[in-house]
Amino acid sequence: MAVFGATFTKEQIYMGLTAPDDKSLLKCISERMKNQGLVAETFSQGVVQREEIYPTGLPTMGLGVAMPHTDGIHVKEESFSVSLLKEPVIFREMGNPTGTVLVHIVFTLALKDNHLQLHMLQGIVAMIQKPEFLEALYRETDRVRAYEMILTELEKVSLE
């Protein structure tokens, strides 16, 4: 299914991921996206390098979120994934060089088009500003229900 023009399927929800740190987690997510044909082999390196320069941890109310992404040259098919972590991972905070965020949910964007990127970011930002939604999503154990929850929230944003 296309959401804001990007591919998003229930298979792009990764549940129960574990990693010792943000770099390992980003490599794991990138590998899954690569295996699904969404991103190039170089996506992993690109997203890790970009995260080092421009951290994406967001200290939202409630659960911490990260929105890593990289340049469109590493993208095969515009898409995004949602990772629900078994244990939170520390990310550096966006816009605060000394801050960190304990991240529970990762929205990984694989986008080429800057216009699409803006719409997708707006949609995700609207979702993550709802602590009750993030809590419910994080507690969800069924991939299909998690997928439907995300679609429902993104539909609300596209109608606004």
pTM: 0.94
The domain tally of the chain equals 1
CATH code, 58: 3.40.930.10
Task: State the DSSP code for 18.
Answer: -
Tens digit of pLDDT per residue, the chain (160 long)? 667 778 999 999 999 999 999 999 999 999 999 999 999 999 999 999 999 999 999 988 889 999 999 999 999 999 999 999 999 999 999 999 799 999 999 999 998 876 666 777 888 888 999 999 999 999 999 999 999 999 999 888 765 5
Judged by phi (left if over 0) then psi (alpha if -120 to 50, else beta), residue 5 lies in: left
**Domain span at residue 141?**
2-159
Closest among 110, 131, 9, 114 to 61, alpha carbons compared: 131
- Beta-bridge mates of residue 7: 2, 79
E strands, the chain, where?
Answer: 2-3, 6-7, 13-17, 57-58, 64-66, 79-92, 100-110
